[in-house]
Amino acid sequence: MLDIGTGQDAVWALAAARAGARQVWAVEVIPQSARIARKTIEEAGFADRVTVVEGLSTEIELPEPVDMCVSEIIGTLGGSEGAGSVLRDARERLVKPGGVFIPHRSATTAVALDLGSAGRGEPLGFPPLVFRYVEDVFASVGRPFDLRVVLEGLQDNPKARERAYLSGPVEVEPLEFNGDLNPEGVDGAELTFTRAGTFSGLALGMRLWVAEDDEPIDSLVQPSSWTPVYAPLSAEGLPVRPGDRFEFDFTTTLSDDGVHPDYALTGELHRPGGPAAPLSWGSTHHGDGFRATPFYRSLFPGPGGP
């Protein structure tokens, strides 16, 4: 059995050993987490059957292919942490043909959003504690950039979702870990507005099927470790009515590191009696723009204001 990204607690590696796995390879790229995992496994009494391998799963070799691969490298957008390319590599090199992958499937989800209603008119921004993390991220990358931001307060509040979500959800970026696994692709999708409101962008989430027959974890509507990401499309917002449609293509390509995806979305808002309004959004893994759009200029006001 292979646990990709075992983390310091080696939870899945230890669960597999307890369930009777003969040999478990627990792979972890962060040296400190790998060290702590080794100690955790020793203390749990499984050092004879669980071996910690420090490194990237895409760069290690195993003495023989395994029957099963468990991992938790699903992102706030399903593939954003590289699950598609990492698990495709595992399938090609580290897992026996017909071997089983847990989780079974993930998808990125999108729903039309009225940002003003989501925030109840409060100004956009980061809570002070979170802003300290933003500064740490900028310091570690060496420069500020337009990082992806999440929408707090919707998952555990059905009333807030009712105000903010203007349509039902659609799925894009399907990742079939036990099937035809394509980390890159273009997915056409269409959202039909079910409520009147001001369309400002999309809330992007993920659905995760741990096993094939499970109900998925759905980050757009359930509190979880994953929080919806905001994809801004219109700074002023566009008035919409029930029955209006937003048609779009969602493109996933692997970034310059060959593992993490770059995302791009282009679409058109269709309202009766008016011309189609073109709208687009993009977010690259190694993006270098800062304050590049009105949304990010209002989030990070410069010395002269937005």
Residues of this chain that interact with ligand SAM (CB under 6 A) are 4-7, 11-12, 27-30, 33, 56-58, 72-73, 86
> To the nearest whole angstrom, how small is the minimum distance from the Cβ of residue 230 to ligand SAM?
21
- CB nearer ligand SAM, residue 5 or residue 183: 5
For the chain, the distance separating the N- and C-terminal CA atoms, rounded to the nearest angstrom, is 52
Contact 42, 15 (CB under 8 A): no
C-alpha to C-alpha distance for 184 and 175, rounded to whole angstroms: 9
Nearer to ligand SAM, 54 or 247 (CB): 54
Cβ of residue 83: shortest distance to ligand SAM, in angstroms? Answer: 8
User: Closer to ligand SAM at the Cβ: 86 or 164?
Assistant: 86
Distance CA(290)–CA(267), nearest Å, equals: 23
Q: Amino acid letter at 190?
A: E
76 vs 167, which CB is nearer to ligand SAM? Answer: 76
Alpha helices in the chain (DSSP H): 11-18, 31-43, 83-93, 115-118, 128-141, 158-164, 294-299
Q: How far is the CB of 7 from ligand SAM (least distance, A)?
A: 3
The least CB distance from residue 8 to ligand SAM, in Å, is: 8
Alpha carbons within 13 angstroms on the beta-carbon side of residue 164 total 26
12 vs 101, which CB is nearer to ligand SAM?
Answer: 12
Q: Least separation, in Å, of the C-beta of 95 and ligand SAM? A: 14
